[in-house]
Amino acid sequence: MSFSRAELDVGGINPPHFHPRATEIAFLVKGSIYSGFVDSSNRVFAKVIQAGEVTVYPRGLVHFQMNVGDKPAMIFGSFNSQNPGIQKIPAAVFGSGIEEELLEKAFGMSSRQIGLMRKRFEPKKAK
């Protein structure tokens, strides 16, 4: 098992991501968040949860959180693996070396739009 804590400022997000090796159960300590996951048939299961409520994100499914309250939110997460892994979708798609033409076709975006997204998600250089 492993454990995590996330704090989201007002309007803050935990972008769409998934854990390839674990199911996550999350407990909202404080705040109000829009939380959900997308199943393998691309159906969204989402709702606003309040402090004291729990939600589950099945292993390998894309999930997300956004603070929709007027105060900071805090979430504790527990995973059924000591090494759940994490793959953040925006960074994986636009921060990697996937061919630009493929991204243009997949997302219906122009070369310019792809370039802007790549700049936003390019890997940070080590200092």
Question: CB 39: neighbour CB atoms within 10 A?
Answer: 11
- Is 104 annotated to bind ligand? no
DSSP 25: E
For residue 127, being part of any structural domain is answered with: no
| Domain encompassing residue 95 | 89-121
Q: What is the pLDDT along the chain (127 residues), one digit of tens a residue?
A: 999 999 999 999 999 999 999 999 999 999 999 999 999 999 999 999 999 999 999 999 999 999 999 999 999 999 999 999 999 999 999 999 899 999 999 999 999 999 999 999 988 776 6
Whether residue 57 is found in the same domain as residue 101: no
Residue type, 72: P
Number of domains in the chain: 2
Whether residue 115 is found in the same domain as residue 60: no
The domain that holds 78 is classified in CATH as 2.60.120.10
- Is 83 annotated to bind ligand? no
pLDDT of amino acid 123: 80
- Is 42 annotated to bind ligand? no
Whether residue 19 is found in the same domain as residue 68: yes
Q: Are 59 and 22 within 8 A, CB to CB?
A: yes
- Is 63 annotated to bind ligand? yes
Whether residue 81 is found in the same domain as residue 99: no
Whether residue 24 is found in the same domain as residue 72: yes
- Tokens 């991204």: give the residue: 103
pLDDT of amino acid 126: 67
For residue 33, being part of any structural domain is answered with: yes
pLDDT of amino acid 125: 73
pLDDT of amino acid 107: 96
Pairing of strands 24-30, 54-57: antiparallel
pLDDT of amino acid 124: 76
- Is 80 annotated to bind ligand? no
For residue 126, being part of any structural domain is answered with: no
Whether residue 17 is found in the same domain as residue 73: yes
Whether residue 110 is found in the same domain as residue 52: no
Whether residue 26 is found in the same domain as residue 59: yes
